Amino acid sequence: MKIEDNKPLDDLNTFGLKVSAQYFAEVNSVEEFRELMEMEIYKTNKKLILGGGSNILFTDCVKGLVVKNSIKGISILSETETEVILKANAGEVWHEFVLWCIERNYAGIENLSLIPGLVGAAPMQNIGAYGVEIKDVFQELEAINMESGEIVKFVLSDCEFGYRESVFKNKCKGKFFIASVTFKLTKLSSPKAIYQFKTDYGDIKNILSDMRAYELSIKAVSDAVIQIRNSKLPNPKELGNAGSFFKNPTISKEQFDKLVLQYPIMPSYPSAEKSGMKQITQLPNVPIAYKIPAGWLIEQCGWKGKVVGNTGSHKSQALVLVNYGNANGKEIWNLALEIQKSVREKFGIEIMPEVNVV
Ligand code: FAD
Ligand code: EPU
């Protein structure tokens, strides 16, 4: 096992920040991770697992050991006439896995096309986009207890998935290395398969009709999602960013009723979740809370498109903070704190980071 000292992480974080790791190791298998666990450098240092670095803000160089997950492999565990159970190892690139499924006509994750990062990080925040979250197709995952080396299985209920939340961001934070994730997808090649395409979110239907997708397919939905994403979100290869910097906040019905009198155009979505953690599938008849797009709140505070030194809020999506080239992590974090403060002062709403700040 090769351990590198002062390893630059510039290409391993999508903000493009120039930082390094005190110690760095790349693991290609569960066995290699266990081998690493036996080493003194592992036992005596703080550890950070790194996937694609697309949801991380490094505010400084990393003290301790960064473990880059590169465990590859996709396998079919079982299948029926209409469903397939697939296991993807943590180091697979998420979008490549999505495309692999689309090629085989396995449906369920096409709305999650083009989300950067690796499979292993997907359960961390229950990645979601365009009306789908991974919890919708999640079967189980295997993780290594980073203290004992024991392999532990987590089924859906163990993961405590919520909006951009899971047990791995909360009580299990820093305790498990996610090694593989198993999904249950629908085999569209089967005439008996029953599948509901998810095309209600945003502009998907309009784009599909512009694309003249006469026959609805998972490839068409994926292409529509890719088109929308490319029109709104900056490509990290061209402009450093980590997607939405903040989560969309949920406010109580009482607070919503007061704010909407002041801001009648405020966009909102009825929410069944009071906090990010509680998973309720059925919306009550009367919403108990409302989700407000953080992008709107930030735009209303005047931040959209504003450049502050080497950083700023993106011109097409206020929720995305960007690195114009020479920003450091502290600068981006300071901007985030300023934005958070102004939203609090104007609306009395606390917006919380989605990005993992280290
Ligand atoms: P990293 O950034 O490397 O890690 C994220 C966190 O997970 C860190 O705390 C890390 O320590 C931990 N971690 C990583 N791998 C493991 C593992 N194997 N075991 C244990 N812990 C681990 N997210 C969405 O949900 N929806 C979107 O639509 C979306 N759009 C985005 C668009 C852009 C342009 C960008 C840059 C990001 C976007 N994101 C989105 C955020 C990001 O892509 C996801 O959160 C993704 O899952 C992060 O994967 P990663 O491998 O890059 O994780
Ligand atoms: N809006 C503005 N100004 C802006 C941006 C957004 O007013 O600058 C308002 C508009 O009313 C718009 C609404 O916000 O209709 C929603 O915007 P959008 O559809 O772009 O989605 P979002 O809520 O900003 C969320 C996720 C994205 C995900 C998309 C699509 C969060 C924090 N972000 O963004 O995820 O791709 O929906 O599902 O939930 C990420 O997590 O990194 C990410 C990019």
Using one digit for the tens of pLDDT, what is the confidence trace for 143-188?
999 999 999 999 999 999 999 999 999 999 999 999 999 999 999 9
Upper half-sphere CA count for residue 252 (Cβ side, 13 Å): 4
pLDDT band, residue 337 (cuts 50/70/90): very high
Residue that terminates a domain, selected from 232, 256, 280: 232
Substitution candidate for ligand 1 out of 17, 124, 245, 248 with most atoms within 8 A of CB: 124
- Residue 232 Cβ contacting ligand 2 at under 6 Å: yes
| Beta sheet of 4-8, edge-to-edge order | 4-8, 20-27, 62-69, 47-50
pLDDT reported for residue 275: 46
Q: What is the CATH number of the domain that holds 144?
A: 3.30.465.10
Which residues lie below 8 Å from residue 59, measured CB to CB, with a gap of 6+?
329, 330, 333, 357, 358
**Which ligand is the nearest neighbour of the Cα of 354?**
2
Ligand 1 pocket test, pick from 26, 54, 354 with the greatest ligand atom count within 8 Å of Cβ, gives 54
Torsion of CA 214, 216, 221, 223, to 10 degrees: -40
CATH number of the domain bearing residue 15: 3.30.43.10
How would DSSP label each residue in 34-97? HHHHTSHHHHTS-EEEESSSSSEE-SSPEEEEEEEE----EEEEEE-SSEEEEEEETTSBHHHH
Both tokens assigned to 303: 């931040």
Question: What pLDDT sits at residue 284?
Answer: 55
| CA-48 nearest atom, ligand 1 | 11
Ligand 2 near 245 CB (within 6 A): no
pLDDT for position 274 = 57
Is there a single domain that holds both residue 221 and residue 305?
no
Same structural domain for residues 257 and 220?
Answer: no
Atom of ligand 1 at shortest distance to CA of 124? 7
How many C-beta atoms lie closer than 10 Å to residue 110's C-beta?
26
User: Do 174 and 214 reside in the same domain of the chain?
Assistant: yes
- pLDDT band at residue 29 under the 50/70/90 scheme: very high
The label of the residue with tokens 């400084």 reads: 60
- Average pLDDT over the chain reads 95
Would you mind telling me the total number of residues written for the chain in this entry?
358
Pocket of ligand 1 contains residue 129 by CB under 6 Å: yes
What is the secondary structure of 234-275 as a DSSP string? PPTTTSEEEEESBPPPEEEHHHHHHHHHH-TT---EEES-SS
Which residue's CA is the closest to the ligand 2 atom numbered 13? 293
CA 333/CA 254 separation, integer angstroms: 31
Specify whether 80 is located in the same domain as 222: yes
pLDDT value of residue 276 = 41
User: Which residue's C-alpha comes closest to atom 28 of ligand 1?
Assistant: 129
Query: Does the beta carbon of 234 sit less than 6 angstroms from any atom of ligand 2?
Result: no
Q: Are residues 30 and 92 in the same domain?
A: no
Residues 348 and 275 occupy one common structural domain: yes
End position of a domain, from candidates 212, 232, 252 = 232
This prediction has a pTM of 0.96
Active site residues per annotation: 164, 244, 354
Same domain, 226 and 288: no
Q: Do residue 177 and residue 252 come from a single domain?
A: no
Give the CATH number, domain containing residue 342.
Answer: 3.90.78.10
- The finding on whether 14 has its CB within 6 A of some atom of ligand 2 is no
Instruction: Answer yes or no: is the C-beta of 317 below 6 A from any ligand 2 atom.
Output: yes
Q: How many domains does the chain contain in total?
A: 3
Domain final residue, candidates 45, 69, 93: 69
**Mean per-residue pLDDT, 188-195:** 95
Helix (H/G/I), strand (E/B), else coil: 141: strand
Nearest Cα residue to atom 43 of ligand 1: 116
| Whether the CB of 312 sits within 6 Å of ligand 1 | no
Domain that holds residue 58: 4-69
Residues 266 and 346 in one domain: yes
116 lines ligand 1 (CB under 6 A): yes
Return d(Cα 266, Cα 122) in angstroms, integer: 30
Ligand in nearest proximity to the CA of 233? 1
Per-residue pLDDT tens over the stretch 69-100: 999 999 999 999 999 999 999 999 999 999 99
Choosing from 11, 17, 55 the residue with most ligand 1 atoms within 8 A of its CB, the one to mutate for a pocket test is 55
Which of these ranges, 146-150, 205-209, 319-323, has the smallest mean pLDDT? 205-209
| 163/179 same-domain check | yes
Q: Looking at residue 279, what is its pLDDT?
A: 40
Ligand 2 touching residue 354 (CB < 6 A): yes
- Among all bound ligands, the one having the nearest atom to the CA of 244 is 2
**Are both 216 and 257 inside the same structural domain?**
no
Question: Are 213 and 96 in a shared domain?
Answer: yes
